[in-house]
Amino acid sequence: MRKHPRTTVGLPRLVGLVGLVATATLLAACGSDDGAAGGATGDGGGAEPVTLTVFAASSLTAAFEDLADQFEADHDGVTVELSFAGSSDLVAQIQQGAPADVFASADQANMDKLTGEDLQGSDPVEFATNTLEIAVPPDNPAGVESLQDLGGDLNLVVCAPEVPCGAAAQQVAADAGVELKPVSEEQSVTDVLNKVTSGEADAGLVYVTDVAAAGDAVEGITFPEADSVVNVYPIATVGDSEHAGLAQEFVDLVTGGEGQKVLDGYGFGAP
Amino acid sequence: MARHQRQVGLPRWLFVPAAAGALFVVLPLVAIVARVDWPDFLTLVTSESSLEALKLSLRTSAASTVLCVLLGVPMAVLLARTSFRGQGLVRSLVLLPLVLPPVVGGIALLYTFGRRGLLGESLEVLGIQIAFSTTAVVLAQTFVALPFLVVSLEGALRTGGERYEVVAATLGAPPTTVFRRVTLPLVLPGLVSGAVLSFARALGEFGATITFAGSLQGVTRTLPLEIYLQRETDADAAVALSLVLVVVAVLVIGLARGRAT
């Protein structure tokens, strides 16, 4: 009898705390939801405000932000909403009915998922390429100079083979006959890059554009074997788009001279 | 320990939000069970990578629970039995990981124990590398799980009061004997439930681990990380492994309740 209160009174306090956290999280989630809805309808400004929704692979973030600004400047009353995520997540969202007008994928496989269900508006067009590059911390502690050096004794971080950048890394290494012994196989290219910028990893295999975007935080080391695996980016309008004309114009901007110049500036190759 | 009959009735309307709340928690679990690809369940769950992830999860969670007990018991005792300036602040700081997003914990650990972190460089000199090792997983889990133990044990200590300890002391028992023979046995059930909660929290740790420890099969890729990765390519495997984690969590909680009451 005496022991009983001692055993249980600790828990209610904890439960209360957990409840508080849960409530706060829920409120925060609701709040952000409202914000997004407000943003989607409230902007515009032109005579007939139109919002064009572009789903693009995360690696395109900086380039597509520039292109969206350009598109808005050229089209009065049009707001471009950009949604960046992994290509597989984006295509899954479109399959579930997300209101996208344009889809730009980081690989062919995910674009194939879209066309496989006949959800595209226009046929996919290849608009950019990306290859792998070695990223090392600015002082290059392990003295990495080539792909072969990655087979040595160092803290190497790559993407897991399950994600596109990891599959590419595996392929490049196999083609070159280098055995990689990574200390970590990360979920995304961003995770790999973070391990390098924080100095935890001596080297990481990421895309050329990631090295360019990271600026001074990492040093990039190109290697000739990278050309054996070229990642191609396709773009297409989405079939259910209510602004098919505008969506096509956005695709034309990306694939046209202007768009190619912007993409080149961020390190992407021409298709 | 007989249950006494409630004399005061409860307002009827209370049942509606209570049922909604219960449903809110239970329904997603039912959804997982409904979504499992049962014919292939065993194959999915017993793949080499899944088994390694499960073993690593159980091993690291056990280790971090031990760490939580070793560090958390003294912390809880000092917080419950002493008073010093700034105690409220200390308590809040100790509980911080409870409300902090785990990814923030991971970043904090990275800049503490990482190679270029606060302590990392000294450790490097000693030839110890924590990043990308199983030790890093245990540290991440301990960081997020420790407050659970401290909170439940401190609560148990406070409600328990000091009567018996005072009596033992007046009878001439030295402080260590009082602590070992009186304090600890009295709060043992609270300690057990705190340890079990810590274990469960460690088992579910994801954000701090992926930020701080990395992800490599058999070394740092615990079950939650494996589920997150499988989701990329094999949704069925991810769902099957999720169910495994749910079952383990239910067993752990059931065990805790069985022991505590």
CATH number, position A52: 3.40.190.10
A32 labeled part of a ligand binding site = no
Task: Give the confidence band of B115 by pLDDT, cuts at 50, 70, 90.
Answer: confident
Q: Closest chain B residue to A159 measured between Cα atoms? A: B215
In a domain, A116, yes or no: yes
**How much is the average pLDDT of B78-101?**
91
Same domain, A125 and A136: no
Give the nearest partner residue to A185 out of B154, B156, B216, using CB atoms: B216
- Name the domain count of chain A: 2
In a domain, A77, yes or no: yes
State whether B232 and A163 contact (CB < 8 Å): yes
Instruction: Judge if ipTM > 0.85.
Output: no
Same domain, A124 and A196: no
Residues of A in contact with B260 (CB under 8 A): 7-8
Whole-angstrom distance, CA of residue B249 vs CA of residue B258:
14
A146 labeled part of a ligand binding site = no
The DSSP-derived string for A213-243 is HHGGGSEEE--GGGGGS-EEEEEEEBTT-S-
Same domain, A121 and A179: no
Whole-angstrom distance, CA of residue A100 vs CA of residue B19:
37
Whole-angstrom distance, CA of residue A82 vs CA of residue A102:
10
In a domain, A9, yes or no: no
Same domain, A213 and A145: yes
Same domain, A222 and A138: yes
| Span of A43-57, B47-61, B156-170 with lowest mean pLDDT | A43-57
pLDDT (tens digit, 9 = 90+) per residue, A96-152? Answer: 888 999 999 988 888 999 999 888 988 999 999 999 999 999 999 999 999 999 998
Residue B261's pLDDT is 54
Grouping H, G, I as helix, E, B as strand and the rest as coil, residue A53 is strand
In a domain, A190, yes or no: yes
In a domain, A33, yes or no: no
| Span of A45-49, A132-136, B45-49, B124-128 with lowest mean pLDDT | A45-49
Domains of chain B (ranges; CATH) run 45-100+132-260 (1.10.3720.10)
Comparing CA positions, the residue from B59, B2, B74, B49 lying closest to residue B218 is B49
In a domain, A237, yes or no: yes
A228 labeled part of a ligand binding site = no
For residue A128, the cross-strand partners are A233
Same domain, A160 and A105: no
Same domain, A113 and A245: yes
In a domain, A54, yes or no: yes
**How much is the average pLDDT of B164-191?**
91
Range of the domain at A109: 48-129+232-265
| Structure-token match 């990043």, residue found | B131
Same domain, A224 and A136: yes
Task: Give the confidence band of A48 by pLDDT, cuts at 50, 70, 90.
Answer: confident
Strand spans (E) along chain A: 50-57, 78-85, 102-104, 125-130, 132-136, 156-159, 184-186, 203-207, 219-221, 231-237
Residue B10's pLDDT is 87
Residue A63: partners with Cβ closer than 8 Å, 6 or more residues away: A262, A263, A265, A266, A268
